[in-house]
Structure formats: structure tokens, C-alpha cells
A and B are shown apart, each in its own frame.
Chain A
């Protein structure tokens, strides 16, 4: 007799979504989380009165979350108070100029027209094209399983509009942006978004050009920090009987006769279950937690070949003043060619960037409750590879933090260095140790064309019966709305195949 109908490994947003939806289907569900806190990369920690988001810093494309909470008998807006972020971001260019992009497409065109009237018109056309593309992708791509060619055809039938944009599939992010916009500053203002899919502009597929538009669909910050989202999923799941156990690390998925039969925890406890949903990185899951011996040789070769996504050190700063920033998200950008140079000549060779570029998330700009008494919190997302060519992260991290603070104080946030009360830096190594994200890759696996759809580890395992995948390393990929979508897909597939 099984202890549970479904065991979910990992209480990240993907695992919690799948767990809550499966509990809603009337199944006995246990979610096992190795850490003390739920949410994985979409979580918040507290240090000396300041709250900092661990990974994800904003929320956009909320449709999958709205769908999940609707199925769970509530609404997303009822469960999580969403604070709209407008402007969607401020851009700091290398020449020292700064401008804000408002949420409204038309108002953004006005901002762009000050730099280039021609590009303002191009922006309007681009926004319309991306809006059509995104509408089709939301219908088909985000919420459909894509385990094989037939699923892919079904997906295209649901959202045929995707096929109206073949130019996006056969070009790069860089070529799309450069084709649309002529002005160098406008191009620079759309350069950083390429890292939202973990690739430099020269390697990111053209379809990701939607990232430079999707913020205008609406960017939100959950009151209480990003952890409010997994907390709401947990709360809804528990209403349907879902159990969540923290500090419970799964070391083995038990497989008998090609089918899962339960899991084994680090303390030796075995929990029997005919269905396992994994929110663990697929490489770790197949090569370590399940074991290569259970994989056919072709699948083993495929899993081994999957590249882990980009990593980045993050600096958490607690301040005793209000920094002179005017937006929740602040992009300190460089040109697309510089981002490519960083990727090919430094990141891939284990070196830190030469030029400073960064994403500063000013969470207390949106939600003042995250720091008490007029204090403020910043997350500064820096750049750096997992494996350093010279030295190791433990020995260089303070130097990296100090260099970043000097840069920020000097060029972007006057007075910053004198107002830091709390400082912590998390390196890719820390993300690997604390969140079990291999090499600190925060999007799971690469997000290029050959790590997407049918080439990304399948939501319904093709190697082990009764095993389902959720999270960033399966379809549709990394990011909060996408991992929530992966949880919806996993729950749908369990409903179809495990009755």
C-alpha cells in the first residue's frame, strides 16, 4: 500500500503548483523540500530586519498563475496582492544618460522618440508584432505539453499565430533588435533582457525578442516579497490536503521494473508512491537521483549533453537611506556586442566581466514593508561564471562585492557605499549548495532552440513510468510563470495517465 498517491520532490513554484493541483484532483500528495524555506528560486529571506528576494525579482506574464489559482478555486489577485511596477524599468546607458520606460506602449514610444523618432514608430510596430506573438504563445506554447512531435503539432494548432512569425525562429535576438531599431541607445536599452533567457544576444533565439516587450504587458511585485507566491500556492494546496515537509532531502527515486515506486530520503526513510513529480533539475534527477542505470543509452546521452543555464552572483544590500533610484527594476546596460564579448571571451573562460553591467532590483521602492523605519533593500544581480579560472568564489566574492559597490556609488547611486548597513553576496556556488541548482544555473538548462520543446527533458518521463517533471529544466523553461505552467502541465498529464 502506497503512503501517498503522489510525492513531489521540491517545493519550488513548479512543484507546489503541481502538488496543489494534484491535491485538488483528490490525490494524497506529499511535497518534500530539502531546504528550510519553500519557493526555491522564487523566495525571500530576512537578514537583520531587511527582506531580500533570493532569485526572481518581479513577475510578468501572469496568465499561468491566474489559471492555476482559478483551478484551485480562488484567484491569483485574491491570494497575492500584486503591486504594479510602472515604470517597468529605468535604463542607465554607458554614456551616463538615463531614461524610464513606462508600462504604456504609447508612452514608451514618446520616450524613444526623444532618442529617435524613426525608432519610436518602429517600437509601435514591434510592440504590435510581439503582442500578437505572445498572445499565440500563451494559448499554445506555455500551457501545452510538448513531449513529442504530435504534441508539438497540437500545440501549433492551439496557437497557430506563432507560425506567422518565422523570422523570429530563424534569427537571433540581436538580429531581430538590430533589424527593428536603428538608434544605438535604443538598441542598448533592449540589450540586457537577453539574459532573462540566459543567453547572450548572439545566441538567444529571435523568439526571445518578446522579452523586450513582455514587461509592457504588466510587471508586478507581490506584497511581502516573491515568497508570497509559493506561500499562496502552498496555502491553496493545503486546503485540499496537500502536505509539505521542509528539511527533507530526497536522495533516491526508487524504480522497480521501469516504474517509480517511491523515494528515499537522506535519513534513510522510504516513502512509497506510484507517482513522483520532480521539481529537481532534470540533469541531477536522471544522472544522480534516479541513476544512469535506469536510462536507455540514447536518453542518457541526451541528458548528459544538456547544458546548464547561466549563473550569476547576487549582492544583497540593506541601506539606511532611500537610494536615488526611480524604478523597481534598474538596468545598467552595455551594448549587445559587449554582452557577446563577455559571454564568449570571459564567461565561457571562467573570467569576470571587464565592463560593469547589472540589474538592480529596488524591492522597497514597490513594497516599503520589506525594510523597517525608512530603510531600503537592493538586490544587485551581477555577472560571473560558476567555475573561475583564477581563484575560487570564497576568496574573490568580497572583492567582487566591493568593486560593484564602488562602481554603483561612483556612477549610478551616489552615497551608496556610506549607507550600507547589511551586505551579503550569494555566489553561483552558494546557489548550488543552498538550492541544489547545479552550477548555480538559475534557469535550469540552456534556453536555446535545441534545449526547447521536444528537446527539453519531457514533462512525462520517457525513461521511467510514473515519473513527471516540473520546474525550469522541463518545458516551457525557466522563469516564475513558466515553471508554474510546467506544474500545470505535470498535473494535467498525471490526471490523464495515472487513473
Chain B
């Protein structure tokens, strides 16, 4: 394998990692939130669940 080819592969891998980085950060944030959610008391979990269930309807409600 030529040096140029190795450079291309490593550049591609770094590029791929860079693309994955935001997803990894997002996954870490979601995991953190899920962890925090699990540690909340039942009352707060119910409150969040109640609001989260309504999220898909908010654009419609805004235009009503």
C-alpha cells in the first residue's frame, strides 16, 4: 500500500469520525437525560411523560 493511499484511508476515517461525533454527543446527552429521568420521583416522571406525549401535536395547536 502506498503512503498516499494510507493518508486517504486515515483522512476518510477521521472524516467519518467527525461525522459521527455529533451523533455520539447527542447519544450521550440522551443517555444522560434518560439516566436523570429514571432517578426522578414518580410525580416528576409523570409530569414529563404527560408533556412529552403532547409534543407531536404542538405545531398543530400553534396553528389552531
Q: Which residues of A contact B (CB under 8 A)?
A: 148, 171-172, 174-175, 201-203, 282, 286, 295-296, 298-306, 340, 344, 448-451, 454-458, 462-463
Contact = CB atoms under 8 A, between A and B. Distances in A.
A243 to B, nearest CB: 30
20 contacts: A148-B62, A172-B47, A202-B42, A202-B43, A202-B44, A296-B63, A298-B59, A299-B63, A302-B59, A302-B64, A303-B61, A305-B54, A306-B64, A344-B46, A450-B58, A454-B62, A455-B61, A458-B64, A462-B63, A463-B64
Contact of B50 (A203, A282, A306): A203
A455 B60 CA distance: 8
Nearest to A295: B64
A305 B60 contact: yes
Contact of B46 (A202, A295, A305, A463): A202
B51 interface: yes
Given A302-B57, A448-B51, A462 B46 contact: no
B40 to A, nearest CB: 10
Contacts of B54: 305, 448, 450
Given A301-B60, A463-B64, 6 more contacts: A201-B43, A450-B57, A450-B61, A455-B61, A455-B62, A458-B64
Contacts of B59: 298, 302
A462 B61 CA distance: 11
B23 to A, nearest CB: 27
- By DSSP majority rule, is chain A's interface helix, strand, loop, or mixed? helix
B47 to A, nearest CB: 5
Contacts, number: 74
A175 B62 CA distance: 28
B45 to A, nearest CB: 9
A301 B47 contact: no
Contacts of A303: 60-61, 64
A299 B64 contact: yes
Contact of B47 (A148, A202, A298, A462): A202
Interface in B9-64: 42-44, 46-47, 50-51, 54-55, 57-64
Nearest to A305: B57
B48 to A, nearest CB: 10
A289 to B, nearest CB: 15
Interface of B: 42-44, 46-47, 50-51, 54-55, 57-64
A174 B43 CA distance: 8
Which 5 pairs, one residue from A and one from B, show the smallest C-beta to C-beta distance? A302-B60, A305-B57, A301-B60, A302-B64, A302-B61
B43 A172 contact: yes
A302 B63 contact: yes
Nearest to B53: A450
A299 B60 contact: yes
A286 B46 contact: no
Nearest to B47: A172
B64 A286 contact: yes
A354 to B, nearest CB: 19
A457 B63 CA distance: 8
A300 B61 CA distance: 9
Contacts of A456: 61
A306 B47 contact: no
A304 B61 CA distance: 9
**Residue among B43, B57, B60, B61 having the largest count of chain A Cβ atoms under 10 Å:** B61
B43 A175 contact: yes
A159 B49 CA distance: 30
Contacts of A172: 43-44, 47
Contact of A457 (B43, B55, B57, B64): B64
A448 B52 CA distance: 12
A148 to B, nearest CB: 8
B33 to A, nearest CB: 14
A203 B64 contact: no
A340 B63 contact: no
Contacts of B58: 450, 455
Contacts of B64: 282, 286, 295, 299, 302-303, 306, 457-458, 462-463
A83 to B, nearest CB: 38
A458 B62 CA distance: 8
Nearest to B59: A298
Contacts of A306: 61, 64
A298 B44 CA distance: 30
A296 B63 CA distance: 9
